[in-house]
Amino acid sequence: MSDQTSPYETLERIETRLKHMLRMGVRYLDAEAEALQRLRRPIYATQTQTPASAAARPSTRPAAAAQTSAPQQPASLPPVQLPPMPDDREQAMRQVIELVAQCERCPLHATRKNTVPGAGSLEAELVFVGEAPGRDEDIQGVPFVGAAGDLLTKMIAAMGYTREQVFICNICKCRPPGNRDPQPDEIEQCEPYLKRQLQILKPKVIVALGRCAAQTLLQSRTPISRLRGKWHEYEGVPFMPTFHPAYLLRDATQKRLCWEDLKEVMRKLGKPVP
């Protein structure tokens, strides 16, 4: 720990690390008596955080010496506080990408190969949001590649856009191991990055791809089959849930319904509908 590190940062780093270690099965750790003494000192509310440190949490290593027990229940981290948004769109998006690249707010950082912040036009009127990167995305650091990505590209083309004209991203920016759904605490930690991206892009419409993305944005447990085809709102932006391209690859009979959803989106955007 550096002497320039604020007490808040120190505590948050320790909390992040303990939470992660607890998930990995660690129940006891060694800590220096001096470090424990420092932690007992009061913290005053006037501390400020640097922009990068507010969102990114560098790794810390537990020091050796007196043995103490780790908390039995991990305390949840407060949602990430992002630094002020630069006025310039490009800078603002670059800031998000850099913060995500350094982020260790949830355990997904430990198994990712690359962060996958999103890709597309900063002028996009249409944003596609999935739940989290999969294997191919993790390897390439690009959202929606591979077979599902190819299908999404075709869906976008059928709507009269190119991939470069829209913006594509996920709620979670790191791959959950084994392509499982992201956990609620992982979503909670990562969602502020998505919200900031939407603040930057100010899209006219969001399309949520798949059950997990739709349910997360709506904070609902309603099945995607009942959410799709209807307009909802997220962060003040109209959004349309529809099926995930990976699901459509498994069940092509649902493509027709998905196309109906996308035509609704085209109508909303004033595009000619075939």
Task: By CB under 6 A, name the binding residues for ligand SF4.
Answer: 100, 103-106, 108-109, 115, 172-174, 186, 189-190
- Cα separations (Å) of 130 from 59, 63, 75? 28, 40, 28
Q: How far is the CB of 133 from ligand SF4 (least distance, A)?
A: 9
Q: How far is the CB of 80 from ligand SF4 (least distance, A)?
A: 7
If the CB atoms of residues 151 and 169 are measured against ligand SF4, the closer one turns out to be 169
If the CB atoms of residues 182 and 245 are measured against ligand SF4, the closer one turns out to be 182
Q: How far is the CB of 106 from ligand SF4 (least distance, A)?
A: 3
Q: Is the dihedral of CA 4, 10, 12, 18 positive or negative?
A: positive
8 Å CB contact between 115 and 141: yes
If the CB atoms of residues 74 and 238 are measured against ligand SF4, the closer one turns out to be 74
If the CB atoms of residues 53 and 115 are measured against ligand SF4, the closer one turns out to be 115
Closest C-alpha among 99, 97, 98, 111 to residue 175 = 111
Token pair of 191 as six digits: 């969602």
Q: How far is the CB of 37 from ligand SF4 (least distance, A)?
A: 31
Q: How far is the CB of 260 from ligand SF4 (least distance, A)?
A: 32
Angle at 98 between CA 93 and CA 103, to 5 degrees: 125
If the CB atoms of residues 104 and 137 are measured against ligand SF4, the closer one turns out to be 104
Closest C-alpha among 165, 242, 163, 161 to residue 207 = 242
Distance of CA 182 to the CA centre of its chain: 9
Q: How far is the CB of 100 from ligand SF4 (least distance, A)?
A: 5
If the CB atoms of residues 126 and 172 are measured against ligand SF4, the closer one turns out to be 172
Q: How far is the CB of 193 from ligand SF4 (least distance, A)?
A: 6
If the CB atoms of residues 190 and 217 are measured against ligand SF4, the closer one turns out to be 190
Q: How far is the CB of 57 from ligand SF4 (least distance, A)?
A: 9
If the CB atoms of residues 139 and 269 are measured against ligand SF4, the closer one turns out to be 139
